[in-house]
Structure 1
Amino acid sequence: MSREDWSDLLGRRSSRRPQGRAALLPAMPGLRGWLWGGAVALLATGAAGMASVALQEGRILPLERVELTDAPQRVAGEDLRQALVPHLHRSVLGVDVRGARDALEALPWVERAAVRRAWPGSIQVTLHEREPLARWDEHALIDRSGERFEPPVESIPEVLPELRGPEGSEGEVARLFKQMQEQLDKRHVNLVALSLSPRGSWSARLEDGVEMALGRQHPGERVERFAAVLPTLEEREEAPMERVDLRYPNGFAVAWGAADEAD
């Protein structure tokens, strides 16, 4: 239908209309269109109102279930429910997916979350949980990306390395820890503690109790140099290592413990 035909339906003046008082209404071409448009607007408003009520009551695409793509390992089910419930709705269309996602990502163990509508009647939730790297100070943890977080105490794994440093140094300490552990892994040695002092000096401890002084400069390179000669040092059976000072530019010093006495 052309634009002219559409205008005719709204009461455009006809060239063959009769003359006189009977032609009063047809002589006002906008009136019919206004009345028709008003009727359509009222019907649309009423329909929108009915649809809104049906949506609020959940009669349009009712929410039937919330699905987790994978079972969480560390996030408690009750914590998930408390985060999600304020953002759910009787209808899938009314669910605040962005608010639900933000609430889930505010949980300590959740690194990121995705919430989407799965038609016709479901909400699908995907969680990516943090992978703990080490403890940080007394009550916090560091994840593998170097982010600090504070989960419930009862959810903290018992055996984790210990990292310490000034506020804001979490990422730097985590990066050096991973670099050092990569070097020590080649010698099947575990790093259990790493600290950065307020003055910028590094120190560490190995699984067998050996203390390591790393100084302020190039701690990663110094550990790499130490790891390269560690097999030779371990061949000495007279006494165990107690402390290694790696602050020398071209070498290091080793402090040995007392030799075990023969039975």
Structure 2
Amino acid sequence: MTADHINHEHEGHDDKHLSKSWQSALVTLGLMFAIGFFAMQTIGKSPAKPIHVEASNLTTPESQSLMQAIAPFGEISFFGGNLHQIHDSVTSLSWVEHATVRRDWYQGITVEAVPRKPIANFGSQEMIDANGVVFRPADKGDVMNPDLVTLHGSATQADAIMRQMQYVNQQFAPLGLTVDDLILTPRNTWVIRFHNGLRVVVDDENTTQKLHQLAQILNERFAERINDMQSVDLRYKNGFSIAWRNKK
């Protein structure tokens, strides 16, 4: 047998193998297309459903608040509804830190929300989270939580007020003092009340330096008499004044 004849037989075998491979690939693609087409048809004809809320991480008031926010959208088919509009509606709730809206093969349109975690009360009707965001909790009963510090001031200065609270707690920690209430007045005067009742008033001039120096002096000279103090006024150019409690 000549070399040319052998090569022709080999090429013929390769052509048959390639032909079968292409046929197999086409059949596979056809099946995948058919399955996908029927699946899409089935999903497309599926009845509209109410938006599903993942509520495992939510309190009852939070879940109810979320349901009220999405109620206007009614029942939605799998490919229906504008996910961006639903997302905007959910995140418009001030207690929602962030939310996810997705299409689920089994449950339809699904919404999951992560609530903000308060670190302090803000005024008498709101709270503030660790990012300095002021919000209204879903449950009105959560406001004025006695276990949290209460901050007062303009919401536009909420982040600065929160950071001031953290700074004061850090400076006065060696004395065993923690902030109970902190107020920033419209005239930018800080009024700090500690858990033991001691009140400190300081203006907006060199505030940080004055508080730092006060903490040092109290720790060095008055550590044993902290609970005898009623208030400290730092609104002086040089020094400060102390008002003592009346002993019974």
After TM superposition, is the score higher than 0.5? yes
Conserved? CA contact 1:88–1:95, under 8 Å: no
Does 2:145 match 1:158?
yes
Q: Is 2:87 the partner of 1:101?
A: yes
Q: Deviations over 1:113-142 (max 9, x none)?
A: 121223354444332212223333332323
Q: Residue 221 of structure 1 aligns with which residue? A: 209
What secondary structure, in the 3-state scheme, does the structure 2 residue paired with 1:158 have?
coil
Equivalent position SS for 2:151? strand
Q: SS at 2:111's partner residue?
A: strand
Does structure 2 conserve the Cα–Cα contact (< 8 Å) formed by 1:58 and 1:90?
Answer: no
Corresponding position of 1:76: 62
Residue in 2 aligned with 1:182?
170
Equivalent residue letter for 1:234 = A
TM superposition shift of 1:241: 0.8
Aligned match of 1:198: 186
In structure 2, the gaps of 5 or more residues are 1-39
The answer as to 2:78 corresponding to 1:92 is: yes
Residues 158/166 of structure 1: CA separation in 2 closer, same or farther (3 Å cut)? closer
Question: Do the aligned partners of residues 153 and 244 (structure 1) sit closer, same or farther apart at CA in structure 2, a change above 3 Å counting?
Answer: same
Give me the TM-score of the superposition, normalised by structure 2: 0.68
1:144 aligns with 2:130: yes
Quote how far apart the aligned CAs of 1:75 are.
4.5
CA distance in 2, matches of 1:255, 1:214: 14
Between Structure 1 and Structure 2, whose CA radius of gyration is higher? 1
- Correspondence 1:111 to 2:100: no
On the 8 A contact 1:204/1:212 being kept in 2, the answer is yes
Structure 1 runs not aligned, ≥5 long: 1-50
The residue number in structure 2 matching 1:126 is 112
Alpha carbons of 1:74 and 1:218: their partners in 2 closer, same or farther (altered >3 Å)?
Answer: farther
Query: Which amino acid is the alignment partner of residue 154 of structure 1?
Result: G
The two structures, once aligned, show a CA RMSD in angstroms of 3.2
2:241: which partner in 1? Answer: 253
Change (3 A) 1:231 1:54: closer
Letter of the 1:147 partner, please give it.
Answer: V
Change in CA separation of 1:197 and 1:156 when aligned onto 2, cut-off 3 Å: closer
Q: In the alignment, is the contact (CA less than 8 A) between 1:88 and 1:96 conserved in 2? A: no
Q: Secondary structure at the match of 2:156?
A: coil
Q: Which residue number in structure 2 is paired with residue 25 of structure 1?
A: none
CA deviation after TM superposition for structure 1 residue 192, in Å: 1.4
SS in structure 2 of the partner of residue 94 of structure 1: coil
Percent of aligned positions that are identical: 26
2:200 alignment partner, SS class:
strand
Alignment size in residue pairs:
206
Deviation at 1:89, TM superposition (A): 4.0
Distance 1:80 1:167 in 2: 24
Mark the CA change 1:84 to 1:226 in structure 2 (over 3 Å): closer, same or farther.
same
- Does 1:236 find its partner at 2:225? yes
How does 1:16-27 map onto structure 2 within 5 Å? Answer: none
Structure 1 residue runs of 4 or more that deviate by more than 6 Å after TM superposition: 51-54
Per the normalisation by structure 1, the TM-score is 0.64
Contact between 2:55 and 2:63, CA under 8 Å: does it hold in 1? Answer: no
In 1, the alpha carbon distance for the partners of 2:122 and 2:99 equals 24
